[in-house]
C-alpha cells in the first residue's frame, strides 16, 4: 500500500521505450471499465485513461500508438487533439482539459499503477 492506494503490477520497465508503443491495461473509472495506457517519455513512465477529452473515445490511431511522428506529443487519432506526454495537459486542438493521469511507480524493473478514488482495478 502507498499513499496512492493499492499498487498493481503493470509491466516490466523494459516494455516501455521512449516514444514507443504504449502498454494497454483496463481500469474501472467512476464505475465503468475503461482502457488505459502507459508510455515512457524522456525516461519517465506515465499513464492515462485512453479517453480523449474532446469526445470520450479511445485515442490510439493504431493499437498502442499515441505519439506523433516526432515523439513529442500524444495525439487523438479521431480529432487531432494533442496532449503533453509528461502531464496529459492539452497542448492544442479540440481538447477540453487534460487527460486523466494514473499514478505510476517503478521499482526492481517493474512498473506499477496505483489505485485511488475513482480509479480501481477490474474485478475478475
pLDDT digits (tens, 9 = 90+) for 62-118: 899 999 999 999 999 888 899 999 999 999 988 889 999 999 999 999 999 999 988
Q: What pLDDT shows up at residue 55? A: 77
In-domain check, residue 12? no
Which of 99, 96, 54, 101 has the alpha carbon at shortest distance from 78?
A: 54
On the question of pLDDT at 34 being above 90, the answer is yes
Q: What backbone torsions phi and psi does residue 16 show, to the nearest 5 degrees? A: -110, 115
Q: Tell whether omega for the bond before 118 is within 30 degrees of 0, i.e. cis.
A: yes
Local confidence band at 26 (pLDDT 50, 70, 90 cut-offs): very high
Q: What share of the chain in percent tops pLDDT 90?
A: 73
CB-CB contact of 102 with 27 (8 Å): yes
On the question of pLDDT at 2 being above 50, the answer is no
Q: pTM of the predicted model, to two decimals?
A: 0.92
In-domain check, residue 117? no
Local confidence band at 42 (pLDDT 50, 70, 90 cut-offs): very high
As for how many domains the chain has, the answer is 1
In-domain check, residue 25? yes
In-domain check, residue 82? yes
CB-CB contact of 8 with 113 (8 Å): yes
> What CATH number did the domain enclosing 25 receive?
2.102.10.10
How far apart are the two ends of the chain, measured CA to CA in Å? 21
Print the domain residue range for 39: 21-106
Amino acid at each position: 500500500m502507498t499513499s496512492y492506494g493499492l499498487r498493481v503490477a503493470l509491466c516490466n520497465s523494459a516494455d516501455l521505450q521512449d516514444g514507443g508503443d504504449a502498454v494497454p491495461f483496463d481500469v474501472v473509472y467512476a464505475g465503468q471499465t475503461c482502457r488505459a495506457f502507459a508510455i515512457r517519455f524522456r525516461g519517465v513512465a506515465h499513464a492515462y485513461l485512453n479517453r480523449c477529452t474532446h469526445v470520450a473515445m479511445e485515442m490510439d490511431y493504431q493499437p498502442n500508438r499515441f505519439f506523433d511522428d516526432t515523439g513529442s506529443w500524444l495525439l487523438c487519432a479521431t480529432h487531432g487533439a494533442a496532449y503533453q506526454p509528461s502531464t496529459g495537459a492539452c497542448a492544442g486542438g479540440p481538447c477540453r482539459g487534460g487527460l486523466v493521469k494514473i499514478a505510476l511507480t517503478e521499482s526492481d524493473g517493474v512498473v506499477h499503477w496505483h489505485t485511488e478514488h475513482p480509479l480501481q482495478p477490474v474485478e475478475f
